[in-house]
């Protein structure tokens, strides 16, 4: 929206007013170069102040746009999740967050208004002072006979015709900076690296196994083994116990039970 507004209004008037100022200054210098230099006197301070204004206003405008985005997000979440917010009793916290963000945004917008008022006051005051000085110098030249009254009237008419193009520079620069910061935010989103949507499945390590060989059974350390040696394998986290049972004619081995 800000970019479309810039293309529709400020861009056109910046070109038209810029050409008007250049042509008007050339005409005034042709009419009388001394009065033309008096009119051009405030040009250097105005350009310096405009450069400082652009830098400060760009920072404040970017901060205001970010705060507007945060406030809009809170409002949208509150509207879409109104049932969940009421169900969990979070309406007071949402209202508190809204008030804090709205207050911060209000302060930032007032800061923007103060900057715009300051630059506009300078842009309006300095040309008026220059026109007044040119009127005084021109009146002295007319009294001395160095300048005709008609030339002085034509010169002042041209200078007064440039008032609006000069005074409009303030808010045109402000709208241009807002469009520039909005465009910068847009391309920052486009240039951001997308987040990976792939889910990584954790690899479970293979279970370690422990074992022993030559396991047998005997009634006493010096007795002959009742069972032949056999290998024993067990995975990590499990326990093995040997439970003796009554021997039977078919099998003389105790039963081994595994518990996890």
> Residue 35 burial by CB count (10 A; 0-12/13-18/19+): exposed, middle or buried?
buried
pLDDT the model gives residue 204: 61
3-state secondary structure 125-148: HHHHHHHHHHHHHHHHHHHHCCCC
Determine contact, residues 39/29, Cβ cutoff 8 Å: no
3-state class (DSSP) for residue 260: coil
Structure tokens at 220: 């006493």
Q: Which residues of 3-30 are buried (b: 16+ CB within 10 A; e: fewer)?
A: eeebeeebeebbeebeebeeebbebbbe
Record the pTM: 0.59
The string of DSSP letters for 170-237 reads HHHHHHHHHHHHHHHHHHHHHHSPPPP-PPPPPPPPPPPEEEEEEEEE-SSTTSPPSEEEEEEEEETT
One digit per residue, the tens of pLDDT, for the chain of length 260 reads 666 777 777 788 888 888 888 898 898 888 888 888 888 888 888 888 888 888 888 888 888 888 888 898 888 888 888 888 878 887 888 888 889 999 999 999 999 889 888 888 888 888 888 888 888 888 888 888 888 888 888 888 888 888 888 888 877 877 887 788 778 777 777 777 776 665 566 566 555 555 555 555 555 556 565 555 555 565 555 555 555 545 544 444 444 444 44
């Amino acid at each position: 929206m800000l970019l479309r507004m810039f293309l529709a209004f400020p861009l056109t008037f910046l070109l038209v007013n810029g050409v008007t100022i250049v042509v008007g200054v050339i005409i005034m210098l042709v009419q009388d170069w001394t009065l033309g230099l008096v009119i051009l006197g405030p040009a250097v301070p105005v350009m310096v102040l405009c450069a400082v204004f652009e830098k400060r206003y760009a920072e404040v405008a970017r901060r205001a746009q970010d705060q507007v985005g945060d406030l809009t997000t809170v409002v949208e979440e509150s509207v879409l999740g109104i049932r969940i917010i009421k169900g969990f009793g979070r309406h007071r916290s949402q209202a508190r967050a809204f008030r804090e963000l709205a207050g911060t945004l209000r302060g930032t917008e007032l800061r923007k208004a103060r900057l715009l008022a300051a630059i506009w006051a300078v842009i309006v005051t300095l040309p008026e002072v220059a026109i007044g000085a040119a009127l005084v110098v021109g009146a002295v030249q007319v009294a001395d006979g160095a300048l005709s009254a008609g030339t002085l009237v034509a010169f002042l008419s041209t200078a007064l015709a440039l008032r609006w193009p000069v005074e409009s520079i303030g808010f045109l620069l402000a709208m241009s900076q807002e469009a520039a910061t909005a465009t910068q935010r847009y391309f920052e989103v486009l240039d951001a690296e997308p987040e990976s949507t792939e889910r990584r499945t954790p690899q479970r390590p293979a279970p370690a196994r422990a074992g022993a060989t030559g396991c047998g059974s005997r009634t006493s350390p010096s007795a002959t083994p009742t069972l032949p040696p056999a290998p024993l394998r067990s995975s990590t986290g499990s326990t093995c116990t040997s439970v003796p049972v009554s021997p039977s004619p078919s099998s003389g081995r105790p039963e081994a039970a595994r518990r996890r």
